[in-house]
Each structure stands twice: as structure tokens, then as C-alpha cells.
Structure 1
């Protein structure tokens, strides 16, 4: 169950990073709404990460949480923020995914 919580925490990490990207692109009231989304997503992500580390090793949980956030944010960057999608960028995103899955399999 805590692996599921950890994945959800990682998805909220993607959400707070994406909200920061939108804060940078907007102004006025819209910027404040994106900033509020950032704060809510950050809070949820941290609470779920804390919950997941009650039974998972902190090093593994943090690495998986960060990996999910990095991969998800890179994909959102490509799809939403028009970041480049070069061969090497996709290659290293793929290796990050493999590393996160590998950590899951070698953790007790």
C-alpha cells in the first residue's frame, strides 16, 4: 500500500513543479491560482511522502519519489511547455524510469 502512496506523492511532485512553470508564465490573479496549486500540491506530496516512509526505507522512498517527479516533470515539460524532445533527453528519461523500477524490485 505504501508503494501506491509513494507513487501518488510523486505525481503530486509533478503537479507542484508544473504549477511553478505556469506561475512563471502568468501574471495577476491567474498567477496566484497557480501558486495556490503549487502550495496545495507541495503539501499533499510531502504528507504522502512522510506516510510512505513509515514502512519504506527513506533512501529508497526518496529516490523513487524524486525519480517519479523528474520523469513526470520532464514529460510535462515536453508536452506542455514545449521543452526539446531530443534522442538523448528521451534516452535518459527512459534510464530514470528503469532505475525507479529497479529500486522497487530490489527493496524489501
Structure 2
């Protein structure tokens, strides 16, 4: 079971990579590389999610996977792209983290 959770975390990290790639693709002269990064991360994320779902229930795996991706993309948006960090946005991300932790503990 531990290996499945490792696969799920890896899938979540790749899930972070594809919106970053799409954002990078918007930069002048980086469109191709950003698109390649996005597609590669999508494929790797899907593969590791597939592997994780062999032992983790689909609903749990999907929620954790998207949670990791959402929180990671939020954090990188703050750091790399100057996205706004309002209290409401931070609280919302905190709720996502709490939900992911709850799902893991409930499994």
C-alpha cells in the first residue's frame, strides 16, 4: 500500500507541472517548450495516477491527486508569477490541504 501512495504523490507533483508548462507556453519564445513540458507532465501524472489506483480507491486517489496539483500550482503561482495571496485564497488552500490529510488518514 505504501508504494501506491508514493505513486500518488509522484502523480500529484507531475500534476503541478502541466499548468506551469501552460503558463510558460504563454511567454514569448517559450511556447513550444512550455507545451512539451505540459504534455509530458500530463502523461506522467496520468501514468502514476493509474498505478496508484490499483491499490487506492478511485475517489480518494482522484481527490488527493487534484489536491496536490491545486495546492502546488497555487504555491508556484505565488512564488513564480506573483499571483495574489489574499487571506481568502490562503484559507481556501488550507481547506484543500485539510481535506487531503483527512482522506489519507481515513484510508
Question: Unaligned stretches of 5+ in structure 1?
Answer: none
Question: How does the TM-score come out when normalised to structure 2?
Answer: 0.94
Give the structure 2 partner of residue 80 of structure 1. 80
CA deviations on 1:51-89 (whole Å, 9 max, x unpaired) are 000111000000000011111111111111111001111
TM-score, normalised via structure 1 length: 0.93
SS at match of 1:43: helix
- Counterpart in 2 of 1:12? 14
What is the CA–CA distance in structure 2 between the aligned matches of 1:87 and 1:33, rounded to whole Å? 34
- 1:48 paired with 2:48, answer yes
Q: Does 1:59 align with 2:59?
A: yes
Aligned mates of 2:7, 2:50 — CA distance in 1: 10
Describe the SS at the equivalent of 1:80: helix
- Distance (whole Å) between structure 2 residues aligned to residue 10 and residue 68 of structure 1: 5
> Runs of 4 or more off by more than 4 Å in structure 1?
none
CA distance in 1, matches of 2:79, 2:25: 17
Q: RMSD value over aligned CA atoms?
A: 0.9
**Count of residue pairs brought into register by the alignment:** 105
